[in-house]
Amino acid sequence: MWTATTKQDLRSKLPGLPRPVILVPTMGALHPGHASLIELARKRAGENGTVIVSIFVNPIQFDRPSDLEKYPRCLDADLTVCRKNGADGVFIPEDGEMYFTDRSVTVIESSLSKHLCGATRPGHFDGVCTVVLKLFNLTRCDAAVFGEKDFQQLAIIRRMLRDLDLGTEIIPHPTVRENDGLAMSSRNGRLTPEQRVSAPRIRQALTIAAEKSSVDDILSTARNFIEESPFAKIDYLSLVDAETLAPADDLSSKRVLACAVFYGEVRLIDHITIKPRA
C-alpha cells in the first residue's frame, strides 16, 4: 500500500493506476464504519481496480475552532485500517498542501444546505463541497463511497455532481452502528462514560417517534425522549422532505426525521426514514 502526502506525489501515481479508481474520502480516526466503506470500495473496484483512501481533517468545514482542535488524529492506526481492508493507496495531505493561503474560490450549495446541519453550522457544506470536488479532481476517481449516516452531506454531494456535470459515481453505504444502536462516529470516543451510556437514546427516540401518525406526535415524542437525558442538548430536530430536505408539515410522501444532539462539546447526528402514510 502506497502513501502520498503531496498533490505532486499523488499525480505521479495516477497514470499507472488500474481502473476503476474508487475513492473513500475520510477525515481519519477510522472506526469499523470506515472499514466497511473501504471494504465496499474494494468490492466495487474488483481485484484489478484501485482503492484510494484520503485522510484529511478539512479545516474549512468546521464551524467551531474547538471541534477542529479536538478532532482525533491517529494516523498509524488509520493506515492499519486502510491496509487491512483493501486500500491500495492513501492520500494524506497537510492543510497547506490542499489550500493556498490566498484561496478565493469556494463551492457553495444554496438549496439543500439551508436546513438541518446547514442551518446550524454556517459554511460547513461549502467546505465539504469544496474539499470533495478537490479530491475528485486530484484522484481522478471513477466513483466514491460515502456513508448514509451523513444523509444531508450525501444529498448535497449528489446535487453538486448533477449541477456541475461531474461524471463521478456516488456509492452509498448504510449507516454502521454500535451494538446498542449508536451510529458509529469518530467523535464517539470523546464522550464521557456517562454520555456514552446515554447517547443510544438518540436512535431509540427516532425509532419510537417514527411509529407515530402525525408530524406533531413524531417531533414531540423524539424531543421528549432525548431530553429525558440530563446529558443531551438538542441542536436541531426536524422532519424534512426526503428529496428537497425542506421542513415537512405532513406525511404524504417519504420523510426523514433528523437530529443533531450535543453531549457536552460532542455533536452527534442521526436520522431515520419515514414512509408515506396512507
Chain position carrying cell 498542501: 97
Going by C-beta distance under 8 Å and a sequence separation of 6 or more, which residues neighbour residue 97? 5, 6, 7
Q: Cβ-count burial of 210 within 10 angstroms (0-12 exposed, 13-18 middle, 19+ buried)?
A: middle
User: Which amino acid type is present at position 82?
Assistant: C
Torsion sign over Cα 140, 3, 68, 26: positive
Nine-digit cell at 12?
Answer: 505521479
User: Which amino acid type is present at position 21?
Assistant: V
- Helix 32-45 and helix 75-84: axis angle, to 10°? 40
In contact, 131 and 61? CB cutoff 8 Å: yes
Catalytic residue among 34, 115, 124, 173: 34
* Residue 173 appears among annotated catalytic residues: no
Chain position carrying cell 481522478: 140
For 214-278, give the DSSP string.
Answer: SHHHHHHHHHHHHHTSTTEEEEEEEEEETTT--B-SS-SS-EEEEEEEEETTEEEEEEEEEPPP-
Can you tell me the distance from the alpha carbon of 209 to that of 271, in angstroms, rounded to the nearest whole number?
A: 11
**Which residues belong to the active site?**
34
